[in-house]
Amino acid sequence: MLEKTRPFILVDGERRSLAEALQMRGQHFLFDMQKNHALLPKPPNIFLYLPNGTGVSLRSDPVVHCFYHGSVRGYPESRVALSTCSGL
């Protein structure tokens, strides 16, 4: 059964850690998360092919890390991953 959920931030999303709550099926679930700095290299490379088929690798500007991973509080075997790049 699908239903609407209502997320809300408990701690500012720009910090190294984030606590996020999600209301679902009448219960609040708290996510304890840390920034996932290992997800992207510093700085990331952009790989592309030119029209003649030549592969090119370019250095990119540093990116804002907005990816988090963690668990649901009270559920030690749980795993959560989310992005705040476009908001919540």
pLDDT tens-digit map of 41-88: 666 678 889 999 999 888 777 667 778 888 998 998 999 888 877 776
Residues 2-8, mean pLDDT to the nearest whole number: 48
What pLDDT shows up at residue 79?
A: 92
Q: Could you tell me which residues are beta bridge partners of residue 82?
A: 68
Three-state DSSP at 12 gives coil
What pLDDT shows up at residue 46?
A: 81
Distance in angstroms (rounded) separating the CA atoms of residues 65 and 83: 9
> Comparing 88 with 10, which gets the higher pLDDT?
88
Banded model confidence at residue 3, pLDDT cuts 50, 70, 90: very low
